[in-house]
Amino acid sequence: MAERTSLTSALCYRDPRAALKFLEAAFGFELVMLIEDGEGNIAHSQMRFGNAEVMIGSEWTDDHKSPASIGGKVTQTVHIHIDTDCDAHCERARAAGFEILMEPTTQFYGDRSYRCRDPEGHIWTIGQSVEAVSREEAEAVSGLKITGWI
């Protein structure tokens, strides 16, 4: 087995099978692993986007719930960095049923991004680098003090 270091988000859904379909339709994620139990329920799944992965599963304990089951509350969001047209990507997500929370906007740090909520309440931010901005330029425009700069 190849050694790898990575960080992978795992999201719980009431209907993980539907989540697999809308993540593929909205974002172009590719299903790379699907494990089903004897009754055909999803026990585990993984989707790939570029060189990143996300795990999609069901609500499996009282501590692992979809936002749809806990009043829409979230404790994390997922950020996807894309190399394609952010505005077109947003329209694809909208057409797939995502609620657009923030329309595509160019940020002070040089990314164009939008924010959306999937049908079960998970919040996703999608960003595309559109211009090179130095730390000093970002500080001047935003009024923030920035330590470190990628």
Whether residue 49 is contained in a domain is answered as: yes
78-82 and 30-36 beta bridge pairing? unpaired
Number of domains, the chain: 2
DSSP symbols for 2-48: -------EEEEESSHHHHHHHHHHHH--EEEEEEE-TTS-EEEEEEE
pLDDT tens string for the chain (150 positions)? 666 667 889 999 999 999 999 999 999 999 999 999 999 999 899 999 988 999 999 998 999 999 999 999 998 999 999 999 999 999 999 999 999 999 999 999 999 999 999 999 999 999 999 999 999 999 999 999 999 887
Do residues 28 and 54 both lie within one domain?
yes
Whether residue 1 is contained in a domain is answered as: no
Give the Cα separation of 55 and 1 in Å (integer): 20
123-129 and 78-82 beta bridge pairing? parallel
Expressed as residue numbers, the domain containing 25 is 7-60
**pTM for this prediction:** 0.88
CATH code of residue 90: 3.30.720.110
* HSE-CB for 26 with a 13 A CA cutoff: 25
Coil vs helix vs strand at 97: coil
Sheet holding 9-13, edge to edge: 9-13, 52-58, 42-49, 30-36
Do residues 83 and 41 both lie within one domain?
no
pLDDT for 2? 65
Do residues 43 and 14 both lie within one domain?
yes
pLDDT for 127? 96
pLDDT for 116? 97
pLDDT for 118? 96
pLDDT for 6? 78
Using alpha carbons, select from 79, 76, 143 the residue that is nearest to residue 109: 143
CATH code of residue 11: 3.30.720.120
Whether residue 129 is contained in a domain is answered as: yes
pLDDT for 149? 82
Whether residue 25 is contained in a domain is answered as: yes
Whether residue 66 is contained in a domain is answered as: no
Do residues 93 and 135 both lie within one domain?
yes
